[in-house]
């Protein structure tokens, strides 16, 4: 029972992670990283690499497969690229060359419809639908003996509340003014028990923990992408560019991704057309045929999170570190999240950049966190 406490802590730490991320980014206002001198080569000859700084779309025709197991997926060609950034947040440093085998990747985030098929086939119950338990504490964590507060000791998940004005932001609570644990919130009820996904079946599923995503992948015969696969795919062969489509956030004044516009966290004006999740593929795909690699929802990667992993990462198909370590919360097991979400604004979380890294407790989702899958096979569909 004492572990129930930890579940609350699980939530709290997840919220704290968000807070920290937001605060960290908020310090921010830092200029977004400039294009580095990375070289990106997509093995295939048909792929012409864009010049750094160029907004020109790389020449590549997305490949799909007739194999039903690869439906909805696109081929990501083998290649070498520079992962990370020179002038950005500390955990994106150092930029380093990585070579990857080719793989298949979902062209969109996993939708409510897809996740529902999984649940109907298996009877799976997500973490947010279960009574809180301790699942993501390191074995030697000091948090193991804490008590779970009663208000957190019921199924639920983390949501961002709608604030009315800047006065609603309690300086003492900081980001907890808007991030709150909502009993009854889960993938079927994204904003709490009264909300529904009935008209959102083609939106990305949310409130999915890393452990939930693993179960979906197992059922689907897929895997979560490694962090290196995710970044390589998101770049879409654009060398060292800030976004999957180039260096300009709003080319020709257009919004290219579902993020937050307006004063954060008071009012999202929805200038991009969406105030929360958008249907997948509402925005243009990158050169590989991948939609929403920036914005919409954070996407889980397979890797444990360690901020300094890039300093020791192997150059060939890096698998991520062998264990988790976040100095901000060393007792918690965390996995990498990528891509930013509809909650990311240029005032705070600029996580929609291609190199931006986030972390989350592996047993905890939130209303802006989902995932997509990969299949590690050759272009012809055979096992590597
Ligand atoms: Ca938006």
**Average pLDDT over every residue of 43-66:** 63
C-alpha 265 to ligand 1 mean position (Å): 12
Whether 50 shows a pLDDT value over 60: the answer reads no
C-alpha 257 to ligand 1 mean position (Å): 8
Q: How many CA atoms lie within 13 A of 84 on its CB side?
A: 20
As a whole number of angstroms, the distance between CA 12 and CA 30 comes to 27
In Å, the largest CA–CA distance within the chain is 60
pLDDT band at 313 (very low <50, low <70, confident <90, very high): very high
pLDDT band at 382 (very low <50, low <70, confident <90, very high): low
User: What pLDDT score was predicted for residue 144?
Assistant: 82
How far are the Cα atoms of 136, 154, 157, 310 from residue 184, in angstroms, in the given order?
21, 8, 7, 38
Whether 45 shows a pLDDT value over 60: the answer reads no
C-alpha 196 to ligand 1 mean position (Å): 19
pLDDT band at 182 (very low <50, low <70, confident <90, very high): very high
C-alpha 235 to ligand 1 mean position (Å): 21
Whether 369 shows a pLDDT value over 80: the answer reads yes
Strand stretches in 179-273, DSSP E: 179-183
* Mean pLDDT for all residues in the chain: 86
User: What pLDDT score was predicted for residue 168?
Assistant: 86
Whether 324 shows a pLDDT value over 80: the answer reads yes
Range of the domain at 118: 1-384
**Average pLDDT over every residue of 125-145:** 89
C-alpha 262 to ligand 1 mean position (Å): 10
pLDDT band at 28 (very low <50, low <70, confident <90, very high): very low
C-alpha 342 to ligand 1 mean position (Å): 5
Whether 8 shows a pLDDT value over 50: the answer reads no
Among 374, 373, 365, 362, residue whose Cα is nearest residue 305: 362
C-alpha 60 to ligand 1 mean position (Å): 28
As a whole number of angstroms, the distance between CA 83 and CA 62 comes to 22
As a whole number of angstroms, the distance between CA 159 and CA 178 comes to 8
Residues in the chain: 384
Q: Strand 298-304 to strand 369-370: parallel, antiparallel, or no bridges (unpaired)?
A: parallel
Quick one: tokens of 322? 């062998």
**Average pLDDT over every residue of 301-314:** 98
C-alpha 261 to ligand 1 mean position (Å): 7
C-alpha 345 to ligand 1 mean position (Å): 9
17-21, 30-34, 44-48, 54-58: which range is least confident on average?
30-34
pTM, two decimals, is 0.87
User: What pLDDT score was predicted for residue 6?
Assistant: 41
As a whole number of angstroms, the distance between CA 48 and CA 16 comes to 42
**Average pLDDT over every residue of 225-229:** 98
CATH number for the domain spanning 185: value is 3.90.1580.10
What does the DSSP 8-state code read for residue 78?
-
User: What pLDDT score was predicted for residue 55?
Assistant: 56
| Total domain count, the chain | 1
Residues 266/163, Cβ–Cβ less than 8 Å: yes
User: What pLDDT score was predicted for residue 56?
Assistant: 63
Among 229, 240, 228, residue whose Cα is nearest residue 50: 240
C-alpha 340 to ligand 1 mean position (Å): 11
Residues 291/267, Cβ–Cβ less than 8 Å: no
Residues 86/94, Cβ–Cβ less than 8 Å: yes
Higher local confidence (pLDDT), 97 or 145:
97
User: What pLDDT score was predicted for residue 383?
Assistant: 61
């Amino acid at each position: 029972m004492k572990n129930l406490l930890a579940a609350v802590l699980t939530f709290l730490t997840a919220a704290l992670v968000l807070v920290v991320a937001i605060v960290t980014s908020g310090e921010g206002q830092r200029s977004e990283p400039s294009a580095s001198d990375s070289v990106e080569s997509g093995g295939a000859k048909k792929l012409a690499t864009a010049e750094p700084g160029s907004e020109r779309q790389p020449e590549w025709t997305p490949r799909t497969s007739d194999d039903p197991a690869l439906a909805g997926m696109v081929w990501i060609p083998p290649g070498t690229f520079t992962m990370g950034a020179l002038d950005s947040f500390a955990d994106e440093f150092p930029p380093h060359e990585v070579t990857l085998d080719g793989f298949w990747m979902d062209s969109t985030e996993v939708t409510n419809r897809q996740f529902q098929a999984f649940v109907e086939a298996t009877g799976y119950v997500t973490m947010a639908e279960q009574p809180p338990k301790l699942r993501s504490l390191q074995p030697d964590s000091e948090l193991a003996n804490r008590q779970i507060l009663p208000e957190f000791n019921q199924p639920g998940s983390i949501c961002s509340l709608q604030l009315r004005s800047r006065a609603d932001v309690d300086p003492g609570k900081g980001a907890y003014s808007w991030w709150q644990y909502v009993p009854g919130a889960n993938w079927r009820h994204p904003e709490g028990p009264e909300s529904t996904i009935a008209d959102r079946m083609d939106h990305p599923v949310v409130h999915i923990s890393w452990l939930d995503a693993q179960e979906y992948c197992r059922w689907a015969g897929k895997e979560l992408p490694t962090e290196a696969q995710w970044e390589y795919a998101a770049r879409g062969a654009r060398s060292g560019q800030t976004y999957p489509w180039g260096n300009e956030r709003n080319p020709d004044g257009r919004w290219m991704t579902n993020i937050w516009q307006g004063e954060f966290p008071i009012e999202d004006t929805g200038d991009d057309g969406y105030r929360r999740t958008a249907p997948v593929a509402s925005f243009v795909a990158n050169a590989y045929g991948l939609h929403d690699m920036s914005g919409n929802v954070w996407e889980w990667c397979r890797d444990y999170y360690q901020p300094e992993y890039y300093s020791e990462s192997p150059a060939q198909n890096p698998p991520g570190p062998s264990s988790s370590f976040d100095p901000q919360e060393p007792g918690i097991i965390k996995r990498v999240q990528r891509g930013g979400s509809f909650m990311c604004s240029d005032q705070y979380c600029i996580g929609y950049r291609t190199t931006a890294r986030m972390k989350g407790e592996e047993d905890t989702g939130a209303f802006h966190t989902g995932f997509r899958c990969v299949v590690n096979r050759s272009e012809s569909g055979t096992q590597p």
